Structure 1
């Protein structure tokens, strides 16, 4: 039985408290509670799994904290400024057309106004999808890890009846049919790790459990991820442009039909959408860890200049883990090639995530607190804390 030494600053959540978080309607406050719940669980679970190998909640804490920036739309000012700067050169190239159709004021101010309004709508959509994904994952995995903590705590020797108690609450079957086979396999790997004394074997079992849970949750996130990346800037820009001209007929030549206005500005809208996709992909494809912000379009940094992974995970031996890495990792045993070319692709995400999990599995910084005590007190009182979160 493991015995964690990390300070217990908050009691672990009960199933009733996890259910209360799931029922929260405010996505901003719910995200803060979810992030904190993951943090408390990861620390409490060291009593079950030990501290050397970080469990999945150690990674989800920081993924959820990163998602919070999108849910709160903290990224809007920076995105807006950068998009407007890049769009300025594009819009200047169409000055004559804009002057003709929108008038001098409309050309100089209107397009920027329409673009700012469009970006605000786009970031609203990104925020909704980030909140949806944050909720989907916690709704399924918050109760599971709380159940693992409550059921597995205190075991000195393997008690398979407790394992079966946890597994009985999961639904067998493939994920594409609503099943939780990956979570069942992960729970079995975690259970075996609890009673494995060999450090390498235990590390591999923890990695197996973490990777299986990561695979399950990323598959469940496919819809929100794709929706966030594919926000329709072109259509929204043209809709807002038409609405802008209708608000004051003097802003365009009388008699210009809507289809003519849309046709004239479609090339501009297409170029603006390409700029947005580039900026959004770079902004969305990141995760903030305690010591570094990882750009997910770049290779995961090696653990040190001398090795990619912790020694226990340098060469994998567990048959199930080797098979899983052959399925998910395009460059097994190497962080080179881990960059996600397309974050909307489940295969690309998992190719990166398994290397992230593997390099950082023994990184104690992941146990850091995501929030200050004052911030936790604030959102537990129903208030969004001031300052940077």
Structure 2
């Protein structure tokens, strides 16, 4: 909880602390499951580190440098390119990406920390329903529902893996990894849509509406535009969004791992020494096989193809499950994600903060400070007239000051629920709506 709600921590640095926390959880879980097969938290380490790199938008950002290099931007144009790119991404990019990373960490971290506790297994769940005093009205549109039966499957399969050995243990860990990533990807779906759809929506809808609201001296509710369902937009807007997301996925989305870079829009490269016939060996356990078959096609080329649209849950899950199968026995994923000096610094920071304590987004004061420190006429105008987007946009201000501690509850896990619980809900990404989570349908 301290890590997830620490105040005044830069989003990129916060993701580094979360990556280090995942690393410790991966090692703790390996004491029960062994290190011959990677658990979900090994993959989460490098995913969170990639989020940290994407949240670093400073002039020396490796992320922006890589983007400019992949787009063949000349060196003399990179400074204006950075300004244009930041204007397209907007404040909602770091805010939404950081919120998704924190919320997922709070749920997944608490599950691992309390796994096989003396009391019942549980996780701290960020609730998308309920009436909270500090809660923004739009939050329910940002944290998507997910099939909670996946969580019960995680505990059940990890427990089986704890008591198994050899290939049988590897299968159970793989199944738990798939159930865990399916749950967290469903939860993060709407926040991913907010992050990736923001640029075309700002260009086509937000830019001129901002000027119109400024002339009329009325608040501009940006997030009402950015969180609108894709299907409700006009045809030109939908086409522009599809083009942008496909372009972003194929050209800009990259994750660094200890064994090389993975470009998410390109075919998944196998790790050194991996044999496809071994990686793609038939799965014996029925529950694990059903989980794999739900997301992964049997054809190797189709399964390892690059993602065309990262906002497609099915396409994203296909690539992630293929990544889990192919990199399951790569021991380098247990390596520390940072240098020893950096690890000591992050370990010292993990005990900082108080519970509960509101999370105040650093961008609000950072943007105002930079604008007011400008030289010449521009700095003078900024000091006299500048208003941070968090002051002019009520939704952005509420998101920046959102307190995760105000809307969490403890959810007890039920590993005794059988695998059939995973086959009755979630058809085409929809929940059945039954209060008990059972609808009797087969996926």
Query: With structure 1 as the length reference, what TM-score do the two structures score?
Result: 0.66
Secondary structure at the aligned position of 1:287 is classed as: strand
- Rg (Cα) greater in structure: 1
Whether 1:41 aligns to 2:25 is yes
Q: In structure 1, what is the Cα distance between the partners aligned to 2:144 and 2:65?
A: 38
> Which sits farther off after the overlay, 128-137 or 55-64?
128-137
Q: Deviations over 1:41-70 (max 9, x none)?
A: 111221111111111100000000001011
Do the aligned partners of 2:97 and 2:191 also contact (CA within 8 Å) in 1?
yes
Q: Pick closer, same or farther for the CA change 1:122–1:216 going to 2, 3 Å.
A: same
Q: Pick closer, same or farther for the CA change 1:348–1:169 going to 2, 3 Å.
A: same
Which residue of the other structure, out of 306, 324, 331, is the alignment partner of 1:339? 306
Q: Pick closer, same or farther for the CA change 1:334–1:303 going to 2, 3 Å.
A: farther
Whether 1:166 aligns to 2:121 is yes
Partner of 1:330: 297
The root-mean-square deviation of aligned C-alpha atoms, in Å, is: 3.9
Whether 1:181 aligns to 2:181 is no
- Output aligned runs, 1:349-368, within 5 Å: 349-368=316-335
Partner of 2:158: 190
Query: Any gaps of 5 or more consecutive residues in structure 1?
Result: 1-18, 89-108, 152-161, 245-268, 384-389
- Output aligned runs, 1:77-88, within 5 Å: 77-79=65-67, 85=73
Secondary structure at the aligned position of 1:320 is classed as: helix
Q: Pick closer, same or farther for the CA change 1:128–1:305 going to 2, 3 Å.
A: same
Q: In structure 2, what is the Cα distance between the partners aligned to 1:180 and 1:208?
A: 15
Partner of 1:67: 51
Q: In structure 2, what is the Cα distance between the partners aligned to 1:297 and 1:290?
A: 19
- Output aligned runs, 1:132-171, within 5 Å: 132-148=99-115, 151=117, 165-166=120-121
Secondary structure at the aligned position of 2:255 is classed as: strand
Q: Pick closer, same or farther for the CA change 1:339–1:45 going to 2, 3 Å.
A: same
Q: Pick closer, same or farther for the CA change 1:276–1:347 going to 2, 3 Å.
A: closer
Q: Cα offset for 1:120?
A: 1.3
Do the aligned partners of 1:22 and 1:139 also contact (CA within 8 Å) in 2?
yes
- Number of positions where the alignment pairs a residue of Structure 1 with one of Structure 2: 300
Q: In structure 1, what is the Cα distance between the partners aligned to 2:16 and 2:192?
A: 20
Q: In structure 1, what is the Cα distance between the partners aligned to 2:82 and 2:69?
A: 9
Larger RCO (alpha carbons 8 Å, 6+ apart): 2
Query: Any gaps of 5 or more consecutive residues in structure 2?
Result: 127-142, 212-236, 353-443
Q: Pick closer, same or farther for the CA change 1:71–1:38 going to 2, 3 Å.
A: same
Q: Deviations over 1:237-268 (max 9, x none)?
A: 89769999xxxxxxxxxxxxxxxxxxxxxxxx
